[in-house]
Amino acid sequence: MSEKVNILIVEARFYEDLADEMASGAIEALEKAGADYERISVPGALEIPAAIRFAADSGHYDGYVGLGVVIRGETTHYDYVCGESARGLQELAIKDRLALGNGILTVENGDQAWARAARDRGNKGAAAVEAALRMVELKSKYGLGR
């Protein structure tokens, strides 16, 4: 791509330490790729798709990265948050043709979350960026703009 890609990171800040680690991994990947980026935060994973949809109407971004962590608790709330946040992002990708990287971790406990979030381990923040950048490339390839 000849022009710099502009990516919006939307991060759920419910688990602050994990959010910081995932955002750091995402930012490192974006800087390595030479992309521009902005960050916004939302209260939790369920709000990520809506925030991306609001931002998409601005036309300022080529792609989007959703970052968050959902850890299973004692109620079925976990199942709804996991399913609906993933469904919301998938719907944005398919119906609205948005280039997205889904970095919402859905895990059983804190150890699993850290294994996926830590930059020296799973680095799922960077993986979500790589997915978004690849989808930006595919949109461009098929003449759908960036």
Q: For the chain, which domains are there?
A: 6-141 (3.40.50.960)
User: 125: closest CA among 6, 9, 44, 4?
Assistant: 9
pLDDT, residue 146, reads 66
Mean per-residue pLDDT for 129-139? 97
75 is known to lie in a ligand binding site: yes
Q: Is 54 annotated as a binding residue?
A: no
Which of 4, 77, 87, 121 is labelled catalytic? Answer: 77
Q: Are 28 and 128 in contact, with CB atoms under 8 Å apart?
A: no
- For the chain, give the mean pLDDT: 95
Q: Can you tell me the mean pLDDT for 52-78?
A: 95
Q: Answer yes or no: 77 catalytic.
A: yes
51 assigned binding-site residue = no
In this predicted structure, the answer to whether residue 58 has a pLDDT above a threshold of 70 is yes
% the chain with pLDDT above 90: 92
Q: Which residues in 64-101 are b (16+ Cβ under 10 Å) and which e?
A: bbbbbbbbbeeeeebeebbeebbebbeebbeeeebbbb
